[in-house]
Amino acid sequence: MHKRSDKVAEAIHKIVSELLVKGLKDPRIGFVTITGVKVTDDNHQATIYFTVMESDEEKKGTEAGLNSARGFIRKEVGRVLQMRFTPEIRFRYDTSLEYGFHIDKILKEVGSQDEGDNS
């Protein structure tokens, strides 16, 4: 059985993704992918995880752009969801993709060393 906060998180994910596809006016916000949304059980806070395929400097700019658009995004979420209370929104860069690439690279290096030992 899904908690209400899970359904709210799914809805926020969809709304914010659509807003990003339509484009926000901040030039710092490039191609952003929303990787997940976590909403507290009381629906008062939503943490939106995102990733971008850009340099570290551009990532910081994107995060700053998203944070400056929080008020607008929260207003749009509230308008669409029509909840009594719209959650406070926080953006966090999702490091899991980079971590996965790092682990994959290590595994490939270990695999190539094993092949070299068997020759």
Can you point out the beta strands (E) in 1-119?
32-39, 45-52, 88-93
Of the candidate CATH numbers 3.10.20.740, 3.30.300.20, 3.40.50.720, 3.30.420.480, the domain formed by 4-94 belongs to 3.30.300.20
34-86, pLDDT tens digit by residue?
A: 999 999 999 999 999 998 887 777 788 888 999 999 999 999 999 999 988 99
Domain extents in the chain: 4-94
Q: Can you give the pLDDT at residue 95?
A: 82
What values do phi and psi take at 15, rounded to 5?
-65, -50
Tens digit of each residue's pLDDT (9 = 90 or more) over 99-118: 777 787 888 888 777 666 65
Q: 3-class DSSP state for residue 115? A: helix
DSSP code string of 13-35? HHHHHHHHHH--S-TT--SEEEE
Strand runs labelled E in 62-106: 88-93
Single out the residue of 62, 84, 86 nearest to residue 73, CA to CA: 86
CA neighbor of 77 nearest in space, from 6, 15, 10: 15
Q: What is the pLDDT of residue 62?
A: 87
Closest by alpha carbon to 76, among 19, 6, 23, 4?
19
66 touches 32 (CB < 8 A): yes
Asked whether residue 119 carries a pLDDT value surpassing 60, the answer given is no
